[in-house]
């Protein structure tokens, strides 16, 4: 199958779409990636790139990538994000059709974390190539705008709702990463377009690991203390305030540490609180390449995932849940809804309500007091559940089957 992948975010930015397109390529499909200049999450263009101009390069030496200019995220404030989002749409509308002129496409897959607006740039390609347009819905818009505090004006939210409805209208398939997305997406689109297609990752046991790359201080901490690792974006949606409050309650437990790996808009706030409250039990490790993360997970006593207590986040399954399950380590989750249901169903860890710092601290203590065999069983349960539901090789194969079935169904309707 010939597939165009439209995504605002792509390698060297760290997103699951990177590995998925490589799996599709390895399974014999012809994939072309249309994306922007890498600048997530810090808002600064990566070394070797510039904001201006169109760039053609190869991913893994085999997959064509066409990059269009955009305005970076900069500080991550609402104004900067809006300009970043719409600059990608503008550049996509201006350049994508020209860049793939002469190339055929059976399907166009839009990887759509926030913002869903990136799908706008794929609509002319659908019409020009007479291709099947599938949008992989990672976040619910406009709900996520209100939940993260970027847009609170009811009129603007209503206008965004109309825009999302129009985007969904042009889609032939809407792939939703959470079963709980079905109802809210169906309010804005025909429900016969909606297919459950969860996020997935590579089986870490089959991926080449980069060992010995950790700083001595971090490696020593992971080996000598009971470390609960939080990995990923340190932002507003992740309710890092809950983690800080929990660590404050854990100050008297000298053997327990919370290690935060990553960066994001709330990292500065966490650093300020760590210093102001003298929270020596929080360790801010910084960011690491994906190849290093399995070593961090392997040496951790447990892994932590948190989200805000918002209805929209109860519908979402954070992509780190799949990564944590694959790591085969016990998970502590302070979140509601679909993500919590997966951890409970898999038997992979302990769950408490979102934004309940006391319950989170108690869960960490409970895990600490468990024997090693019980913690190991939780990790094994999670890994088995991952293989059955979220392993990327299987999910790449399933994606093609879903697209073929949907395309055949559309043909019959004509």
Are 146 and 294 in a shared domain? no
Axis-axis angle for helices 338-346, 372-389 (nearest 10): 120
Are 343 and 400 in a shared domain? no
Residue 67, strand partner residues: 35, 55
- How far apart, in whole angstroms, are the C-alpha atoms of residue 228 and residue 233? 16
Are 385 and 396 in a shared domain? no
Are 234 and 316 in a shared domain? yes
pTM of the predicted protein model? 0.80
Are 81 and 148 in a shared domain? yes
Q: What is the DSSP letter of 201?
A: B
Are 341 and 373 in a shared domain? yes
- How far apart, in whole angstroms, are the C-alpha atoms of residue 389 and residue 411? 30
Are 74 and 150 in a shared domain? yes
Q: How many domains is the chain partitioned into structurally?
A: 2
Range of the domain at 338: 204-389
Are 133 and 278 in a shared domain? no
Query: Burial level of 80, CB count in 10 A (0-12/13-18/19+)?
Result: middle
Q: Over its length of 414 residues, how does the chain's per-residue pLDDT go in tens digits?
A: 999 999 999 999 989 999 999 999 999 999 999 999 999 988 999 999 999 999 999 999 999 999 999 999 988 787 888 899 999 999 999 999 999 999 999 999 999 988 899 999 999 999 999 999 999 999 888 777 666 666 667 788 788 889 999 999 999 999 999 999 999 999 999 999 999 999 998 888 776 666 667 999 999 999 999 999 999 999 888 999 999 999 999 999 999 999 999 998 899 999 999 999 999 999 999 999 888 899 999 999 999 999 999 888 899 888 899 999 999 999 999 999 999 999 999 999 999 999 999 999 999 999 999 999 999 999 999 999 999 999 999 999 999 999 999 998 777 665
Give the rounded distance of the alpha carbon of 301 from its chain centre.
23
Are 142 and 244 in a shared domain? no
Residue 175, strand partner residues: 136, 195
Are 155 and 210 in a shared domain? no
Q: For residue 119, what is the domain's CATH number?
A: 3.40.50.2000
Are 184 and 253 in a shared domain? no
Q: CA distances (Å), 48 to each of 12, 97, 286, 287, in order?
A: 11, 25, 21, 19
- How far apart, in whole angstroms, are the C-alpha atoms of residue 156 and residue 308? 23
HSE, side-chain direction, 13 A CA sphere, residue 23? 20
Residues 225/256, Cβ–Cβ less than 8 Å:
yes
Are 223 and 338 in a shared domain? yes
């Amino acid at each position: 199958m010939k597939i165009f992948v439209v995504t605002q975010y792509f390698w060297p930015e760290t997103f699951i779409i990177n590995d998925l397109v490589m799996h599709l390529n390895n399974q014999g499909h012809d994939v072309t990636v249309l994306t922007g200049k890498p600048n997530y999450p810090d808002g600064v263009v990566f070394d070797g790139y510039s904001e201006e101009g169109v760039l053609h390069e190869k991913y893994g030496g085999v997959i064509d990538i066409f990059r269009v200019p955009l305005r970076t995220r900069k500080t991550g404030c609402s104004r900067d994000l809006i300009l970043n989002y719409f600059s990608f749409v503008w550049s996509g509308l201006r350049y994508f059709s020209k860049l793939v002129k002469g190339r055929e496409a059976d399907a166009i897959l839009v990887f759509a974390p926030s913002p869903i607006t990136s799908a706008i740039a794929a609509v002319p390609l659908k019409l020009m190539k007479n291709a099947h347009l599938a949008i992989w819905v990672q976040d619910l818009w406009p709900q996520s705008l209100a939940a993260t505090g970027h847009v609170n004006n009811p009129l603007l939210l209503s206008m965004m709702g109309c825009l999302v409805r129009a985007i969904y209208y042009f889609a032939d398939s809407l792939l939703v990463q959470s079963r709980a997305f079905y109802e809210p997406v169906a309010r804005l689109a025909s429900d016969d377009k909606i297919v459950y297609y969860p996020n997935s990752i590579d089986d870490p046991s089959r991926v080449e690991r980069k060992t010995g790359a950790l700083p001595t201080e971090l490696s020593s901490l992971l080996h000598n203390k009971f470390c609960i690792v939080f990995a990923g974006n340190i932002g507003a949606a992740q309710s890092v305030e809950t983690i800080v409050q929990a660590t404050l309650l854990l100050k008297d437990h000298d053997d327990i540490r919370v290690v935060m790996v990553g960066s994001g808009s709330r990292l500065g706030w966490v650093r300020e609180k760590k210093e102001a409250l003298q929270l020596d039990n929080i360790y801010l490790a910084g960011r690491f390449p994906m190849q290093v993360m399995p070593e961090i997970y392997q040496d951790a006593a447990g892994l932590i995932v948190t989200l805000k207590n918002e209805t929209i986040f109860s519908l979402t399954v954070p992509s780190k849940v799949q990564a944590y399950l694959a790591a085969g380590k016990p998970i502590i989750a302070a979140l509601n809804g679909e993500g919590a249901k997966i951890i409970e169903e898999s038997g992979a860890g302990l769950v408490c309500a979102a934004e309940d710092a006391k319950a989170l601290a108690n869960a960490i203590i409970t895990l600490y007091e468990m024997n090693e065999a019980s913690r190991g069983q939780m990790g094994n349960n999670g890994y088995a559940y991952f293989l059955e539901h979220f392993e990327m090789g299987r999910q790449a194969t399933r994606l093609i089957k879903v697209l073929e079935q949907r395309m055949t169904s559309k043909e019959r309707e004509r």
